[in-house]
Structure 1
Amino acid sequence: MNSNESYKSEYKATYYDGNTPVRHSVVGVITRDGLKIVKEDGDFIWWQFDEIKQTNDLYSEDEVRLERGEETPEILLIKDVSFIQSLKGISPESRKKFKPVVSNTKYLRYTLSIILGSVLTVVITYKWLLPAFTNIVVKAVPVSWEKKLGNNYKQYFIKEYSVCENDELKKHIDTIKDKLVGTIPNTKYEYNVTILDSSLVNAFALPGGEFVVFSGLIEKSTRPEELAGVMAHEIQHIEQRHSTKILVKDRMFDFVISSASGGSAGVETTLGIAKIVGTMAYRREEELSADIEGLKMLVNARIDPKGIIDFFKIMDKQYSEIPDIFKYISTHPDTGDRIQKLNGMISGYSFKPERLLPDVDWEKTRMLCKKTKDSADVTINNKHK
Structure 2
Amino acid sequence: MGIRKKTNKNPPVLSHEFVIQNHADIVSCVAMVFLLGLMFEVTSKFAVFFITVQYNVTISTNEAPEETAVNHFHHGIKDLATIFFYMLVAIIMHAIIQEYVLDKINRKKHFSKTKHSKFNESGQLSAFYLFSFGWGTSILLSVRTIENFLSNPVSLWEGYPHTLIFQMKFYYICQLGYWLHALPELYFQKTKKEDIPRQLVYISLYLVHIAGAYILNLNRLGLVLLVCHYFVELLFHISRLIYFSNENRQLGFTIWAVLFVLGRLLTLSLSVLTVGFGLSTAENQGFDWAAGNFNVLFVRVTVLAAICLTQAFMMWKFINFQLRRWREHAQAQTLKKKQAPSKSKSKKDKANGVNGVNSHQADSPRARKEKSS
TM-score range, shorter chain: under 0.3
TM-score computed with the length of structure 2 as normaliser: 0.25
Greater Cα radius of gyration, structure 1 or 2: 1
Report the structure, 1 or 2, having the larger strand content. Answer: 1
